[in-house]
A and B are shown apart, each in its own frame.
Chain A
């Protein structure tokens, strides 16, 4: 936006020279301020990352040093190979978390886009009632459904199975709402040809709408993946044997077991953070669009 306004700025006249240098100065100041704030934003992560290479003694020392005396890479393999019993290891937890996140993200996209197609393209009695009902359920705080959902999961004999998280997470109002807004933005005339050719709704949905909505699907996929990866309360309630833990729950147990060895806990935190950070830097456009979109349309 700022670039566009540049041509309108008055051409460099002598009287403006001091003003111009002031402008450059304030520009530099802005960049410096932003870089400083970036450093503050990243500092906890950088400190934690450096901390993973320290010895038990170094990490508890005061005053703390920035860099480790010797880089103890073995902390990483030590944490990776630590078994807290009953099959609880980081490779296992990493797998559990990734597995659940992928399943739920894919399910949310499939069932969410189906519902969104119905809301945005089909006309039938009761549609708007169901849609408003869905918006209403989005306002219900999670705390209300927490306990009864736990009882229901217990009744279904699903405690300590992945189904406890997958079944309620198959589809959600959030992703349906987002996809409905995206689908509504796709021009209807694109599918009119298909309608004339006598295509069924299933065909229009899979052959016309889904390919056109690919960026939206990817955004929802990523947001849901991240949502499950970062979930804590539900996995804490439902999964209670070490071989079933997800990373978040495991990390909290791990920290309690190795209270004095913050270097190992920080390695665990890195195992948890690095996969999502890598994904974020690859797909940052979709992440940021997803958040921004949620803001504008929400």
Chain B
């Protein structure tokens, strides 16, 4: 009996030691892959040249990750040793992590590893082909240089643009989605059919939709034609608009209508440009059906007894909508608003395809700017700066969604 438990303890020790080594090795390999080195053809020629480069530039990074790896591996190994004597628990532990292994490998490499890399890079000057040089917070400071020098306002302009974008797109798409869902829910037959029809355009890619809208928005396109003929019926003469190329801002147009003028040095007062609003319309067009589906599903979950009770009490349609439907939809509304905010702050496809950030930078967005800086499509490759921008954007998104969650979800517990 004694010998069995002793050998048991020994093999438990051995296995936990093996696991410890295994975890450390895996984590170090992932760290090695994501070590901040230059990526020139010379460095990447063989594994040996790459390791030499890591040794030359990324030792602090490797040590930092190594310490984390050892601590993590220690806790895991300790857990293994603890459960080893209990065969059933031990089997479940091994099975659990075996089933999770593909996910853990992928996410540690392509999410956690790369984020550590990006964080390091964001404090350096890095163009891939030369060694990263430490610059401290310079990249983060550079993002906000626009406050003092208007010619370097790209990032501020991009933030300004996406704030307008969320401010207009999120409420409009959420509101329209709710109205559409209530409308479709109010009919008795063919509900599924209409739901399918409405959703169909949204399954196609944003590239297809953008292509079609770029064509519709042409100066000689259907949108100008439709506006011209509809306004023509009312005797209004509508001059064709170059939708995706018009930099005039919303507030600027209103001020000009009253004879005022906003100089370009006060770009931040001009509001979203016509081109930018044209892209908003297209975006709303594709997201409304998706969110409508979510609202429809939530509407079907509302207890019909609530409506019947309201009917007996003699409530009118507006009351029912205002006092029952909207409060019952609150949780899903908060989700739609948060998803909408996260999505709108990261617009890219439409900008890349339709406007390239123009006209006059009025459709520049943070993600487009990050892409430009990282790929060097408008100047030198600047991966450090691009990473810094990405982190600033992420922090803004976190803060905004945190506060949205706080305000929108307060009071939902009672339902």
- Write the chain B residue with the least CB distance to A113: B99
Are B205 and A272 interface neighbours, CB within 8 A? Answer: yes
Question: Which residues of A have CB within 8 Å of B346?
Answer: 141-143
Q: Which chain B residues numbered 316 to 349 have a C-beta less than 8 Å away from chain A?
A: 332, 335-336, 339, 342, 345-346, 348-349
Question: Which residues of A have CB within 8 Å of B163?
Answer: none
CB distance from B255 to the nearest CB of A (A): 31
Size bracket of the B interface:
35 or more
Are A64 and B44 interface neighbours, CB within 8 A? Answer: no
Which among A132-140, A185-193, A212-220 touches the partner chain? A132-140
Which among B2-10, B14-22, B213-221, B268-276 touches the partner chain? B213-221
Q: Which chain B residues numbered 1 to 53 have a C-beta less than 8 Å away from chain A?
A: 33-34, 39, 44, 50
Given A141-B397, A148-B121, A291-B290, decide whether A277 and B203 contact each other with a Cβ distance below 8 A: yes
Are B95 and A265 interface neighbours, CB within 8 A? Answer: no
- Write the chain B residue with the least CB distance to A229: B205
CA distance A123 to B121 in the complex (A): 39
- Write the chain B residue with the least CB distance to A295: B294
| A281: Cβ under 8 A from any B Cβ | yes
Which among B136-144, B246-254, B296-304 touches the partner chain? B296-304
Question: Which residues of B have CB within 8 Å of A2?
Answer: 185-188
CA distance A171 to B102 in the complex (A): 7
| B211: Cβ under 8 A from any A Cβ | yes
Are B205 and A123 interface neighbours, CB within 8 A? Answer: no
Question: Which residues of A have CB within 8 Å of B256?
Answer: none
CB distance from A150 to the nearest CB of B (A): 7
Please indicate which of the listed interface residues A201, A292, A298 has the most CB atoms of chain B within 10 Å of its own CB: A292
CB distance from B82 to the nearest CB of A (A): 8
- Write the chain B residue with the least CB distance to A97: B205
Tally of contacts, chain A with chain B, CB under 8 A: 304
| B361: Cβ under 8 A from any A Cβ | no
- Chain A contributes a number of interface residues (CB within 8 A of B) equal to 101
Which among A13-21, A34-42, A68-76, A82-90 touches the partner chain? A34-42
- Write the chain A residue with the least CB distance to B353: A252
Are B370 and A230 interface neighbours, CB within 8 A? Answer: no
| A8: Cβ under 8 A from any B Cβ | yes
Question: Which residues of B have CB within 8 Å of A117?
Answer: 99
Q: Which chain B residues numbered 184 to 210 have a C-beta less than 8 Å away from chain A?
A: 184-188, 190, 194-201, 203-209
- Write the chain B residue with the least CB distance to A296: B297
| 23 interchain pairs, CB-CB under 8 A | A2-B187, A30-B187, A41-B201, A44-B209, A44-B285, A47-B222, A64-B220, A118-B100, A122-B92, A123-B96, A124-B93, A134-B103, A140-B115, A141-B397, A143-B367, A145-B115, A232-B206, A251-B211, A262-B218, A266-B212, A284-B199, A288-B195, A292-B296
A interface with B by C-beta (< 8 Å): 1-5, 8, 27, 30-31, 33-34, 37-38, 41-42, 44-45, 47-48, 51, 60-64, 111-112, 114-115, 117-119, 122-127, 130, 134, 137, 139-152, 154-157, 167-168, 170-171, 173, 176, 201-202, 205, 226, 229-230, 232-233, 236-237, 247-248, 251-252, 255, 262, 265-266, 268-269, 272-273, 276-277, 280-281, 284, 287-288, 291-296, 298
